[in-house]
Amino acid sequence: MNKDLKGLRCVVSGSGKIAMHVLEKLNAYGAIPITVSGTFGSLVNVSE
């Protein structure tokens, strides 16, 4: 993938080990996670 992720907002479905790893990588590449969801609910960053 040759696309710069810096500043892009993203949504991650799931909250397990894989989702957490994806969130870490997205953060490292400068993306902005705005929601994370799992079987017990979701988290939303309303400031973004």
For residue 1, is it within any domain? no
For residue 2, is it within any domain? no
Predicted confidence band of residue 48 (pLDDT cuts 50, 70, 90): low
Cβ–Cβ under 8 Å, residues 13 and 23: no
Please write the tens of the pLDDT for every residue from 13-24: 888 899 889 999
For residue 31, is it within any domain? yes
How many structural domains comprise the chain?
A: 1
**Range of the structural domain that residue 15 is part of:** 9-44
For residue 24, is it within any domain? yes
Amino acid at 13: S
For residue 20, is it within any domain? yes
For residue 18, is it within any domain? yes
Stated pTM of the model: 0.70
